[in-house]
Amino acid sequence: GQNIDQPTEMTATEGAIVQINCTYQTSGFNGLFWYQQHAGEAPTFLSYNVLDGLEEKGRFSSFLSRSKGYSYLLLKELQMKDSASYLCAVRPDNTDKLIFGTGTRLQVFP
Amino acid sequence: DAGITQSPRHKVTETGTPVTLRCHQTENHRYMYWYRQDPGHGLRLIHYSYGVKDTDKGEVSDGYSVSRSKTEDFLLTLESATSSQTSVYFCAIKGHTYEQYFGPGTRLTVT
């Protein structure tokens, strides 16, 4: 079966660093994706990892360990506008479909 | 902006009525997807298309049908809407490295 786990909710303080974890068990692996979704809006694509290691893109970084079935999204210098849900998605075996986790709702406080 | 629009953006309908949602894209993408998003379930794939007249089922396809008669339009039809189909529906297209880009969504309420 396909399973993707993320914490349901997290809180953090403006200016801090937060790490959102994602673990997956899927039939094969061909890439992991992170999305941001503000309340009432569509998900927007943040990052893509297919090889082990860290991908940095401004204040956001994403890490992947394929052997552990594990990824995290690291958000630095948190801003109020980072309050949103963060969705982890995996592309399983050679397929053009993505499997999404249920998302982590992040609240940033002043 | 991947040039994706959805219509209508909001709809309220009664149980048993047919409903069609439209997804329109302007950039000639081959792959298009329909998802529903519900609290506690995340995004779940309903149907997808890999070309004109080429479609396949996702994990929650019961009660839904799709059609794609031209590249730019992907239609989702609820033949006889039920209250369990109250949801937010997102259309998406596939990018160059398998990431997907989403339309603005349609909020459907079935009373």
Q: Are B64 and B78 in contact (CB under 8 A)?
A: yes
State residue B40's pLDDT score: 86
Return the structure tokens found at A56: 């940095």
Give the model confidence (pLDDT) of B54-68 as tens digits: 999 999 999 999 999
The beta-strand segments (E) located in chain B are 4-7, 10-13, 19-25, 32-38, 42-51, 54-57, 64-70, 73-78, 87-94, 100-102, 106-110
Across the range B48-56, mean pLDDT stands at 95
pLDDT at B2 over 70: no
- Using a CB–CB cutoff of 8 Å, tell me whether B3 touches chain A: no
Contact A45 B95 (CB under 8 A): yes
- Using a CB–CB cutoff of 8 Å, tell me whether B89 touches chain A: no
A81 vs B30: CA distance, rounded Å: 33
Eight-class DSSP state of A32: E
CB proximity list for A50: less than 8 A, separation 6 or greater: A30, A31, A32, A64, B97
Q: Which residue of A has its CA nearest to B31?
A: A96
Give the model confidence (pLDDT) of B23-43 as tens digits: 999 999 999 999 999 988 889
* B100 min Cα distance to partner chain A (Å): 7
